[in-house]
Structure formats: C-alpha cells, structure tokens
Amino acid sequence: MVDLKKKIKEMLAEDIASGDITSNALLKSSEKARGVIVAKQACVLAGAVETVSVFSENGVFSEILVEDGSSVKPGMEVIRVEGTAKKIFGAERVALNLLMRMSGIATATKEMVEKARGRNPKIRVSATRKTAPLLTYLDKRAVIIAGGEPHRYNLSEQILIKVNHLKIVGSIEKAVKMAKATNKGKVEVEVAEVEDVVPAAQAGADIILLDNMTPSQVRRAVRLLERKKLRDKVLLEASGGITLKNIGDFAATGVDVVSSSYMTMKAPAIDMGMKITGKA
C-alpha cells in the first residue's frame, strides 16, 4: 500500500527546502489569503484529492469544486484554498504539479480509450510500468480515473516473462512451466514473433503479450490461434509503439487488451494556475 502522506511530505520538503525566502521577506506569518486553482485548458480532471492532501499537509484549508474524472473547460475554478498566505505559497507548486501531471495523464487516457472503443467496444486500455519513478501510484490512479487500467504496479504483482528472460531461460515452454510451478497467479509471456503465440498458448500461458508488432502482424497472430483452436484459452495483449494515432487500429485486431506508455510518458501536463482572490 502506498503511503501517500509520506510521499506528500517528501514533495513539500523538496520544494520548501530551508524556507520560502520570498514569502519570508514579504509576508507576516499572520497574514491570511484565499484563492482558487483555475484550469487554463480543457481536460479531464485528475488529482483533486491529492491536491487537497498537499494543502492540508501544509496547514491550508482547501475545497474541491470539480470532482476527479469531470470534463473541465478553460477558465473553470477547480479547487478553492484559504489559510495563511505563507502556507498557501509553500504548497502551491507541489499541488499544481500533481494536478497538472495527473490531469494530463487522465486526459490522454480518455482520448485513447475513446479511440480504441470506437473500433472495439470491449477493448481494455492499460498503462504500462513506464511511469515517473516514485510516482507510479499517482500516474496509474490518473489512468483509472479516466477509464483505463493500471496493468502491473510493480514487479511483485504478476509474472510477466519478457523476451529478455527467454534469452536466458532458453525457451517459452520452459519459462512458462517454471513460472506456473511457483503458483503465483496468472502467467503472462511476451512474444516478438507471430509464430511464437502457438507454443506460448500450448505451454499454458494465461496471457500472451504481442510485443512491438504491427496491426497486421497482430491480426495474423489472432487468426493463427483461432486456426489452432487456442484463441479462447488465452488473453491477448498488444503492446509497444501504441499511441493516440494508432490505438484504434490495434483495438480492431481482435486482441483483448492494448497497453501503452503514451499516457504516462508522452502526454503533456495540463496548464493550470493559482489565483489569489483576496485576503482572508
């Protein structure tokens, strides 16, 4: 379980460091203010809960005006804050950074889900483990808010036999057998060649990840399993190079899941800012 409170404390400590020298020079400790966080772009909001936690950790009252998962228009006020001005400014950057990043991920995720389900209403869109270190939980929470799935949070969650594992172990069959013997739940195996889907399915893999294939190669893999009457025995996941531009083509191939790092590694943060509305 992620200790979010601890993470937020570390984030605030990193930004405040030895003290906010600007606020210390200009403001009295007793001066109070109120303000609002405003979205400057259209987006799917994510991170409102975490933003409130940041302000709270720094002794500032805040109120969510727009719930996570909502569609936000430019100019909308999403969070209200009130408290000691120094404390508000001490939490401002961390709060905004989280809200901007998570909303960017959520916005990209929703776009990907909509494009994928436009071609395949049953497809599942999953985010890979390519996230910012120490922010995996928050990145994946943003994905979930927008209708995506988290895939694995960490290496202990599910067995995923990668091509590099196979180069050491020697074969798909041997690797799957060894993994199954651990009784650690479902076993997923990554294959880079269309022909490898059959031995993977025959070995008893629960999930086959089709890695860095084109949509036409993925379709061939699906048909090959169908011809061998193995398609219903495995879950098929397409991954590698999947973006907003091509996710629909991959979704239409007949796989069950498409996974991507686009939303967590390439989606831009949403522009937001805090506006002080007056003294409290």
> pLDDT tens-digit profile of 114-127?
999 999 999 999 99
Q: Residue 1 pLDDT more than 90?
A: no
Domains defined along the chain, listed by start: 4-106+268-279 (3.90.1170.20), 111-266 (3.20.20.70)
pLDDT digits (tens, 9 = 90+) for 137-194: 999 999 999 999 999 999 999 999 999 999 999 999 999 999 999 999 999 999 999 9
pLDDT digits (tens, 9 = 90+) for 231-279: 999 999 999 999 999 999 999 999 999 999 999 999 999 999 999 999 9
- Is the Cβ–Cβ distance between 261 and 128 less than 8 Å? yes
CA-only gyration radius of the chain, Å: 23
Check residue 109 and give left, alpha or beta (phi > 0: left; psi -120 to 50: alpha). Answer: alpha
At residue 6, the 3 state secondary structure works out as helix
> CA 135 to CA 80: how far, in whole Å?
25
pLDDT digits (tens, 9 = 90+) for 205-233: 999 999 999 999 999 999 999 999 999 99
Catalytically annotated residues: 93, 130, 162, 190, 211
- Is the Cβ–Cβ distance between 123 and 256 less than 8 Å? yes
Nearest to 44 by CA among 65, 68, 63, 64: 68
In this prediction, residue 212 carries a pLDDT of 97
Helical H segments across the chain, by residue range: 4-16, 21-26, 48-57, 85-119, 136-145, 163-169, 172-181, 197-202, 215-227, 247-251
> CA 138 to CA 123: how far, in whole Å?
23
> CA 224 to CA 231: how far, in whole Å?
8
Give CA angle at 19 (18, 25), nearest 5°. Answer: 140
In this prediction, residue 243 carries a pLDDT of 96
In this prediction, residue 222 carries a pLDDT of 98
Longest alpha-carbon distance in the chain: 76
> CA 263 to CA 142: how far, in whole Å?
9
Which residue in this structure is represented by tokens 């209403």?
121
Residue 2 — pLDDT band, cuts 50, 70, 90?
confident
Percentage of the chain exceeding pLDDT 70: 100
Q: Residue 280 pLDDT more than 90?
A: no
- Rounded to two decimals, what is the model's pTM? 0.95
> CA 66 to CA 87: how far, in whole Å?
23
pLDDT digits (tens, 9 = 90+) for 56-98: 999 999 999 999 999 999 999 999 999 999 999 999 999 999 9
